[in-house]
Amino acid sequence: MGEYVTHLESAIDATRLPAGTLQTMHAQRPLWVRYDLDAVGKAATPETFIARPATMWRYRELLPVPPDAPLVSLGECLTPLLPAPRLGESLGLDDLWIKDESHLPSGSFKSRGMAMAVTMARHLGVSRLAVPTAGNAGGALAAYAARAGLEAYVFMPADTPVVNQMECVLAGAKVYLVNGLIGDCGAIVRNGVAPMNWFDCSTLKEPYRLEGKKTMGLELAEQLGWFLPDVIVYPTGGGTGLIGMWKAFTELRTLGWLRKERLPRMVAVQSDGCAPIVRAFQAGERFARPWENARTVASGLRVPAAVGDFMMLDALRESGGCALAVPEESIVPAMQEAVKREGISVCPEAGACVAALGELRRSGFIDPQERVVLFNTGAATKYVESLPLRLPTIADPSQVDYARLA
């Protein structure tokens, strides 16, 4: 195990499980990886990390990878944290930043989790992996499995964006289109564990994808000089990004490395076409009921039920944050507005966050001068179906009427 990992801990009832062997869930709920943070604090300082190569692996004292385990890596960079002044101005925000995860291999932040999960699975002797996916998780698993020389099975709803289908096929995964939603795909993977002898890499059904996502929070802290922002706005599906970041922040707080007392208010954004976490947050509940007839162009947010629902809701409440559903119709226009203003390849999921920011300003949840970080979880270009292109044509290149181009 990672040098400083002490054990795994059930997120629902704190049961301790040994690290160092293959683990999935406990009582149908996710596991935390726990570290000896006192020992980490003696072995490393923020400067230790900064001196190492600029990849997610530089935080190794806070990661589960054993020192002798080879990494499965596609060159995960530190992603840019970009000021967004033009978009900020249009939203009434003076200090808006975008953390651009579209730079990662396979074009989404799912790479962080899958790089970690596949590294750990291979180390623990797994040779066949399977995942249900709304899109990007499948693409990332297929890529990292190929990189590791492991077999991958991917199950996705039939209307998953075509680029996600293509990236899985290219990487040699066995891909199946399922007449159903991600929950149906999840059941296929779960029921196939025994007959197919594959390892289930579903969101939060193994403990290590979360540790990979945690690096998003570590990296953000480092990029801001260990001075976290006031508000983080995050598009929420299965919840690993939100939960992983919150775990990073609480570990950094325990280590005493943060230079600001208050942790960020975490905001979970969903579409009103699929908003189970928002509904549970507003009702004051700790668990979310499954959403019926889930639909949204932001495919990463089309998760009607999540095993980590209570972990998300706990993080939102502990942070003093909130959960917000935006009108489905607002997502693509907001995405386009963001790309137009900043040139950043903003995906529909992050477009939902842009729409949410307008609402959070109007309601007074965010003050104009507060520092806000919006996560762009993936590349816009993976969603070719989201924007119907009706471009004017030039039928005769020798007869261009320039007066009509304006």
Ligand X SMILES: *Cc1c(COP(=O)(O)O)cnc(C)c1O
Tell me if 177 sits within 8 A of 158, measured CB to CB: yes
119 binds ligand X (CB under 6 A): no
302 binds ligand X (CB under 6 A): no
377 binds ligand X (CB under 6 A): yes
Tell me if 227 sits within 8 A of 249, measured CB to CB: no
Tell me if 370 sits within 8 A of 283, measured CB to CB: no
The CB-of-181 to ligand X minimum distance in angstroms stands at 14
Q: Tell which residue, 238, 249, 234, 218, has the closest CA to residue 318.
A: 249
164 binds ligand X (CB under 6 A): no
- Distance, C-alpha 115 to centroid of its chain: 13
**What angle separates helix 208-223 from helix 110-123, to the nearest 10 degrees?**
130
107 binds ligand X (CB under 6 A): no
237 binds ligand X (CB under 6 A): yes
**169: enclosing H helix or E strand:** helix 162-170
Give the nearer residue to ligand X in terms of CB position, either 132 or 378: 378
User: Which of 186, 229, 235, 264 contacts ligand X by CB under 6 A?
Assistant: 235
The CB-of-128 to ligand X minimum distance in angstroms stands at 23
User: Which of 87, 280, 347, 366 contacts ligand X by CB under 6 A?
Assistant: 347
386 binds ligand X (CB under 6 A): no
User: Which of 160, 165, 203, 345 contacts ligand X by CB under 6 A?
Assistant: 203
The CB-of-247 to ligand X minimum distance in angstroms stands at 12
The CB-of-175 to ligand X minimum distance in angstroms stands at 17
136 binds ligand X (CB under 6 A): yes
Residue range at the interface with ligand X (CB under 6 A); choices 148-156, 219-227, 237-245, 258-266:
237-245
Residues 6+ apart with CB under 8 A from 306: 203, 204, 237, 238, 239, 276, 277, 288, 312
300 binds ligand X (CB under 6 A): yes
Give the nearer residue to ligand X in terms of CB position, either 96 or 104: 104
- Residue 88 vs residues 263, 357, 359: alpha-carbon distances, Å: 22, 9, 13
276 binds ligand X (CB under 6 A): no
- Report, in this order, helix, strand and coil percent for the chain, each rounded to 5: 45, 20, 40
How many chain residues bind ligand X (CB under 6 A)? 16
Could you tell me which residues are beta bridge partners of residue 371? 95
Q: What is the CB-side half-sphere exposure of residue 268 using CA atoms within 13 A?
A: 34
Binding footprint of ligand X on the chain (CB under 6 A): 108, 110, 136, 203, 235-241, 300, 347, 349, 377-378
